[in-house]
Amino acid sequence: MTDIRYTKDHEYIRLDGDIGVFGISQHAQEQLGDVVYVELPQIGAKVVKGGQVAIVESVKAASEVYAPASGEIIAVNAALESQSGLVNEDPLGEGWIAHIRLTDPAELAGLMDEAAYQEFLKAME
């Protein structure tokens, strides 16, 4: 099973070595409704954990996406420019937003695993 970590702002990050793939969680896309536009970060941008890196716009609202960890954006999901609905269809797969080269992988220790995230969601109800 893939080790995915979650933030309290409903972003996820999946680690592959020192590279993290991140986007918004299943819960976040459900709350947003149909995604109509994704403003992607710039490749090469330096980001800090908790800093805004992208914007996801839906028929309901525009929501900021925050970096789940600090590092450098090394790839973005260009498919989202023409197929923003991938965020709804497969948020943890084809709907990823960007890849980040982590500067401090230890930052991930403060994020929730799947079980903790599910408990966090239950507490929000």
The predicted pLDDT at position 80 comes to: 97
Q: Is residue 125 part of a domain?
A: no
pLDDT digit string, tens, across residues 77-106: 999 999 999 999 999 999 999 999 999 989
Between CA 44 and CA 32 the distance in angstroms is 28
* One-letter amino acid for residue 8 of the chain: K
Q: Structurally, how many domains does the chain consist of?
A: 1
Alpha helices in 5-104 (DSSP H): 26-32, 86-89
Q: Is residue 28 part of a domain?
A: yes
Supply the pTM of this predicted model: 0.94
Domain of 12 in residue numbering reads as 4-111
The predicted pLDDT at position 1 comes to: 37
